[in-house]
Amino acid sequence: MDVRSLGLENPLFSSIQHLMDDPEEMEKAFNAPMRIFVRDAKAMASTPADIKEYPNSYSFIIDMPGLKSGDIKGHVEDDNVLVISGERKREDERDAKYIRMERRVGKFMRKFPLPDNADTNAISAVCQDGVLTVTVQKLPPPEPKKPRVIEVNVA
């Protein structure tokens, strides 16, 4: 049915008609990613990080210019995923007008799967000069199993 035949010339109705005429477009519209997912994906992609391995630890180095420690959160989820998140807010100056805004504001988040030998109970974080360094200690290697001696009796 053509909605235009009902006298509905509103642009909204013509968009609906376009979706109804093209099943592929309708499929795309209903399966489009949710805004929250897209926002979180952008936040993750725009938070660069370096990861270093040392003999006894791992270090996650993330640039966080202009953030205070209260703006940054960190936790471990699912026993092996380090999550760093927070939000950079724009200063509210009522008498200023922006001529150009290039610095990124908004939420950020990164998830790092931790190796099996990461000690999730020994994690520390320091933010200095706009650089966050999260250090995750390594678990000591398991001690090699000693062979069990079986005593042989003579019959």
Q: Which residues of 51-87 are buried (b: 16+ CB within 10 A; e: fewer)?
A: eeeeeebbebebebeebeeeebebebeeeeebebbbe
For 70-110, write each residue's pLDDT tens digit.
Answer: 889 999 999 899 999 888 877 777 888 888 877 777 788 88
**Lookup: tokens for 119:** 């000690």
Q: What is the pTM of this model?
A: 0.62
Strand segments, DSSP code E, in 21-149 are: 49-53, 57-63, 72-77, 81-88, 106-113, 118-128, 131-138
For 110-120, write each residue's pLDDT tens digit.
Answer: 899 999 999 99
Among the ranges given (24-28, 91-95, 100-104, 145-149), the one the predictor scored with the smallest mean pLDDT = 24-28
What's the chain's length in residues? 155
The mean pLDDT value of the chain amounts to 79
**Lookup: tokens for 17:** 């008609």
Which of the two residues, 42 and 125, has the higher pLDDT score?
125
Which of the two residues, 37 and 94, has the higher pLDDT score?
94
